[in-house]
Structure 1
Amino acid sequence: MSEGGGAKIRLFLVDDHQLVRDGLRARLGDIEEFEIVGEAASGKEALAAVESLRPDLALVDVGLPDMTGIELTSALGERCPVLRVLILSMYDSQGYVMSAMRAGARGYVLKDAPSSEIIAAIRAVAAGGAYFSSALTAALATPQAEDNALTEREREVLILVAQGDSNKRIAQKLDVSVRTVETHRLNLRRKLGIETAAGLAAYALKRGWIKG
């Protein structure tokens, strides 16, 4: 998102159904802070367009004709690292949510969610945070290790990562070296099997360690 007061959040829509894209335009087009800069009906179209349009955030469906939205999320991350991805899907299974997070998605919202929730998700993700639909509570980041497998310091690092702090900022807050923070984050990935900051945010959110 561009710096400066009044900057709009530039959105790109990816869904293979024109009706859905039209509906999103209708739901989001009247929000003053949003600007819909483009849309695509397939992953290939999306990848071809985002580099020139440079949106801040892409709303991506899981079911696309040429690749999954999960695969597209990963490809977008490689091609446009600053682009944030919010999955907007009809699928509410744990597998889809976890796969989306591992691919780099910063949020996951169901298509039938109220407009207010979709808007809140866009704002949260565009601001650098994470957002997961309230209807997905049961699917959020089921741990692959028990909480007591984490040390107290690892838990502290996890919470700060989930809140959006950088390694440098975490090191300053905990009065440790950046290398030590990196080691803790490596241990978190190994113990929990969660690769992304969004995944850690979902894990912390489910346990009540942070507020959504």
Structure 2
Amino acid sequence: KEGKLVAAAKDAEAESVYENYYDYNEAIASIPGHRILAINRGENEKFLTIKVEAPEERILRYLEKQIITNDNEYTTPYLKECIADAYDRLIAPAIEREIRNTLTETAEDGAIKVFGKNLEQLLLQPPIAGKVVLGWDPGFRNGCKLAIVDATGKVLATKVVYPTEPFNKVEETKKIVADLIKKYNVNLISCGNGTASRES
């Protein structure tokens, strides 16, 4: 809870988009996800060095209290040295990796959710603002699928017509399309460019 994420420049004179993080620290508990991802990119691109700053003295005192149950003038100094060495070489690096991984995973999950929400809003926008559009999905044996979407993106009607091989119901299709255009005041027709697009 008291740890900080500390970023520093590898080269303080280097110009980059990460200059805001050349001399930066923030409490791990409150750092937002977008900053985590930005700092990670800066580290990956070799502009930043990152470390987790922890309250080391408090941690060592806690470990000593857990391990040294009986104070002994001969063994206690050695045990304290062992605890400090174990913390520096093993415990602290492992905890730092775990914290960094957790921060990154949380930030990435948050970014995916934001991206998904933004994408959903984008996909739900009307295809062309202020226009009623008839979408035409060309096809042969299964017919051509039509859909009419209003200016808000709402689907007004769907229909399947068969102007292409093997049905060749061209005149019937013309009438159906003309009626749809008139009924829904269609402004634009958007035709797919896949199979049967030229024939349609």
The two structures have a TM-score, normalised by structure 2, of 0.24
Q: Which has the higher strand share?
A: 2
Q: In terms of Rg, which structure is larger?
A: 2
